[in-house]
Chain A
Amino acid sequence: MSNKNPRNQQPTIGEVMDQAGVGRRQFMKYCAGITAMMAMPPLSTAAFARDLRAARRPSVIYMPFQECTGCLESLTRSFAPALENLMFNTISLDYNHTLQAAAGEAAEAARHAAMEENFGEYVLICDGSLPTKINGAYGTSDGHTFLQQLEEAAEGAAAIVAVGSCAAFGGVAAAYPNPTGAVGVADLVKDRPIINVPGCPPMPEVMTGVLVSFLASGVPALDKHLRPKAFFGDTIHDRCYRRRFYDRGLFAKSFDDEGARNGWCLYELGCRGPTTYNACATIKWNGGASWPVEAGHGCIGCSEPNFWDQGGFYEPLTAKLFKERGQAAAAAAAGVAVGAAAAYGARRRQKKLAGDAE
């Protein structure tokens, strides 16, 4: 990141690392974890490390809106890079009212100071959806609505990272009937680069990886939902270790049948893998320990827009395609009636013609 703002006294990450006595290979190792995770060619690690060292340690403002703190819980469980590493070495986390010691007016003052000092260069992380009904009155903090807070914070942000499905797409608050009129950040802010990192919660390594890669190489390639392609480029299904069973037509029919015990495909039990783009199948959760499908439960598609309103989690993707049996019966009856009428008409014509001929 360039140093356009004369008030920005942030050191480069390289300087911070040198000061902390982080060796070059230790840093390379840290970068190797990130590049591997982002599916960058492993040999690009050296270049990535060089760019990251040259980047200025950015100020990060973490704003919570209509959220449950699940995303932050997930973030604190990032193994590679670990959040504490990230916080101490790579970023300057200037505001997060759950993690910071300061509270109340002191915290708000710190936020405003950081925003002013780093205007145009800080990274804004948004967590939670934004209620829009009754002028945003459903969500307020420090006497301001979330809408006002977002508008103010977005103005000086170099980029906005929307963590979690709520900040990205509205999430659970936006589920039917969406009483608060909840929307995602990208629905409101149109003039800043926005990176969506959806998931309920998002994968911790994806959140930290996106931050670090943003520092090294700016806004990554995004898909149509503004998700980084490096993490959201493949479906769960395509990367699933159970895919071979799908291809062979071997499906678990219940959660404790022979198929489930043999690790067969969970498609018929409602797995959303084929239509869900996320990195769970490769990065896995809890430091690579496991992930939902490995634990025997289908994917619920939590990184996709409106995933709450896509039918029951235990209904197959294609379930209930045709529920209106009454309508089908009516169509059948109508078909028979029209057919009979047509036949009747034809016979009458036939008879008339026969009569004329005689």
Chain B
Amino acid sequence: MSATIPLKVKNMPDGGTIGGGVKAIGYEILSHLEKLRSSGEAAAIDMRSLPMAPEEYQGLMDMLGQGELDLTIEIDGPTHVRETAYAGVWWIQHKDRHDQVLSEYIEINHVPEFLSAQDDQITAAIDILGERLKGAS
């Protein structure tokens, strides 16, 4: 993607008031982003390991904002994959069928790991497609 094509950011936070705890997480995300750019190393921050009061959680959500993508995938309960206002920073939340949060994390990656195909699956796909093509000769 060329840098000249701007990403459509739906809700860019104004940055007016960022609380202390939220700021610390912000800096952690920032350092991960810099690492992603320099070495391609992805990272993730588990939200549930951070003791946060509801207002801090809201503060973090406000700081992250809303980027171009906002996906809801139905896999045995909804999974939300949201691009934040900062490219490369994703907010991912898995819920079960009863709307209980299974896990929630911020991933700093080009594409969330959850969405990309895994090697063993690709190996299986090669076999299956190969068989299909042979069979369809």
Residues of A within 8 A of B (CB): 23-26, 28-30, 32-33, 35-37, 39, 41-43, 45-46, 49-50, 53, 79-80, 82, 239-241, 243, 281-283, 287-288
Q: Is the CB of A43 within 8 A of B114?
A: no
* Complex contacts, B49 vs chain A, CB 8 Å: 36, 39, 282
Which residue of the partner chain, among B76, B98, B103, B113, contacts A36 with CB atoms under 8 Å? Answer: B103
| Contact for B75 among A29, A41, A46, A243, CB less than 8 A | A29
Contact digits for B61-87, partner A, Cβ 8 Å, 1 yes 0 no:
000000000000101110100000000
A94 to B109: give the CA distance in the assembly, Å: 42
Residue from A26, A33, A41, A243 having most chain B Cβ neighbours under 10 A: A33
CA distance A23 to B113 in the complex (A): 16
| Contact between chains at A79 and B96 (CB < 8 Å) | yes
**Cα-based distance from A32 to B79 in the complex (angstroms):** 11
With contact pairs A36-B104, A80-B103 given, residues A24 and B118 touching in the complex (Cβ less than 8 Å): yes
Interface residues contributed by chain B, number (CB under 8 Å): 31
The B interface, classified by DSSP as helix, strand, loop or mixed, is: mixed
Q: How distant is the Cα of A148 from the Cα of B53 in the complex, in angstroms? A: 50
27 A-B pairs with C-beta separation under 8 A: A24-B121, A25-B75, A29-B79, A29-B102, A35-B103, A36-B46, A36-B103, A39-B46, A41-B43, A42-B44, A42-B45, A42-B113, A43-B42, A43-B44, A43-B107, A43-B109, A43-B113, A45-B113, A79-B98, A79-B100, A80-B100, A80-B103, A240-B51, A241-B53, A243-B51, A287-B101, A288-B48
Report whether over half of chain A's contact residues are helix, strand or loop; otherwise say mixed.
helix
Q: Are A29 and B100 in contact (CB under 8 A)?
A: no
- A288 CB contacts on chain B under 8 angstroms: 48, 100-101
Known contacts A37-B48, A39-B46, A241-B51: A32-B76 contact under CB 8 Å? no
Report A-chain residues with C-beta under 8 Å of the C-beta of B120.
Answer: 50, 53
Which of the residues B42, B52, B94 comes within 8 Å of A33, measured between beta carbons? B94
Contacts of A241 in B (CB 8 A): 51-53
Across the interface, which residues of B come within 8 angstroms of A281, CB to CB?
A: 51
Of B77, B105, B113, the residue contacting A46 (CB under 8 A) is B113
Interfacial chain B residues near A30, Cβ < 8 Å: 102
Given A33-B102, A43-B107, output 12 extra A-B contacts at Cβ < 8 Å: A24-B118, A29-B75, A32-B94, A36-B49, A36-B104, A36-B105, A39-B46, A42-B113, A43-B43, A82-B96, A241-B53, A243-B51
Counting chain A CB atoms within 10 Å of each CB, the highest count among B75, B107, B121 belongs to: B75
Q: Are B75 and A50 in contact (CB under 8 A)?
A: no
Q: Is the CB of A36 within 8 A of B51?
A: no
Partner of A50 from B42, B43, B73, B118 at Cβ < 8 Å: B118
In angstroms, Cα B14 to Cα A165, docked, is 50
CA distance A80 to B101 in the complex (A): 9
Q: Which chain B positions have C-beta within 8 A of A287?
A: 98, 100-101
B contacts, CB < 8 Å to A: 42-46, 48-49, 51-53, 73, 75-77, 79, 94, 96, 98, 100-105, 107, 109, 113-114, 118, 120-121
Asked whether, in the complex, the Cβ of B102 is within 8 Å of the Cβ of A25, the reply is no
Q: Which residues of chain A have C-beta atoms less than 8 A from B44's C-beta?
A: 41-43
Contact B48 A282 (CB under 8 A): yes
A56–chain B nearest beta-carbon distance, Å: 17
**CB distance B114 to A28 under 8 Å?**
yes
- CB-CB under 8 A for A42 and B46, given A29-B76, A29-B114: yes
Do residues A32 and B52 form an inter-chain contact, with CB atoms below 8 A?
no
Bound form: Cα–Cα A282–B105 in Å: 13
* Cβ-neighbour of B103 out of A23, A33, A240 (below 8 A): A33
Most A Cβ at <10 Å: residue of B53, B96, B101, B103: B103
CB contacts (< 8 Å) of B100 on chain A: these are: 79-80, 287-288
A5 to B94, CA, bound (A): 37
Which residue on chain B has the smallest CB distance to residue A25?
B75
Q: Indicate which residue in B43, B51, B103, B113 contacts A239 across the interface (CB closer than 8 Å).
A: B51
Closest A residue to B21 by CB, please name it. A244
Question: In the docked arrangement, what's the CA distance between A82 and B102, Å?
Answer: 10
CB distance from A61 to the nearest CB of B (A): 28
Given A23-B75, A42-B44, check contact A80 B51 (CB 8 Å).
no
Task: Please name the residue on chain B nearest to A239 by beta carbon.
Answer: B51
Residues of A within 8 A of B42 (CB): 43
Query: Contact: B94 with A283, CB < 8 Å?
Result: no
Shortest distance from the beta carbon of B65 to any chain A beta carbon, whole Å: 21
Q: Which residues of B contact A42 (CB under 8 A)?
A: 44-46, 103, 105, 107, 113
- Interchain nearest-CB distance for B36 vs A (Å): 12
Please name all residues of chain B whose beta carbon is closer than 8 Å to the beta carbon of A50 when the two chains form the complex. Answer: 118, 120
